[in-house]
Structure 1
């Protein structure tokens, strides 16, 4: 049993964005400030990654903890109403994420997953950006050593 009418629930759900979210924008701005240039939601790649760094052959997905079922995260909970729907929805999202990740890796892309809670609620955002920068640039140095 839902606490809102069908119309109200539809209105609420229609306002949930799937691109250009605050965590994505925050991460993009931090990467740009570090000198990274990227593309956003490239439709030709599986899963339309949130951030694509073509120079580094790296993609970054910013996963919402609730929508993608972040293990062990307090923001990844199962709603008390319509539980079966939400369990199926979130597990379906996780299965799709695994397929997309595998397809990208088989195509030679490095896939990085950043969780919403690391950006919004993380105590060390600058540390996260530093680790991401090193991880991305490591890929670049590995590519140049192969050439």
Structure 2
């Protein structure tokens, strides 16, 4: 049985390692380009925040405004299933696993949003493509939630 990064074989969780999926190995979970860009823009607007602070249950938003009870998430288009840029179809030996992975991510997002709302938090979710397209517009969206 091979390792996930070896280029062939199956890992302990049953994922088949393929060359087509090699670009996804080792992807950053935090401190991505869009996250850093948003943080810089939000900071430039005078808002101060905490990073990856656990606030409700196991939920760790990308930006946390504790006093305002505002949680901001930067959702990757691939990993969270952006309607415009997310994968439309999966092929290969892991197709079913990828579909399930994205469904699980989206379900976790809904659970986190509900848990935060139940605890009196407001949630802003931004797609990475929104931030890449216009980081200041994304930062102003956070600012509007911050001020409300």
TM-score normalised to the size of structure 1?
0.79
Q: Which residue of 2 aligns with 1:5?
A: 8
Indicate the SS of the match to 2:144.
helix
CA distance in 1, matches of 2:66, 2:103: 30
Q: Which residue of 2 aligns with 1:94?
A: 106
Indicate conservation of the 8 Å contact 1:66/1:77, yes or no.
no
Cα separation, partners in 2 of 1:137 and 1:70, compared to 1, 3 Å: same
How many residues are treated as equivalent by the alignment?
132
1:57 to 69, 79, 82: 69
Q: Comparing both structures, which one devotes a greater share of its residues to helix? A: 1
Unaligned ranges ≥5, structure 2: 1-6, 10-16
1:105 to 101, 111, 117: 117
CA distance in 2, matches of 1:128, 1:102: 22
Unaligned ranges ≥5, structure 1: 139-147
TM-score normalised to the size of structure 2?
0.78
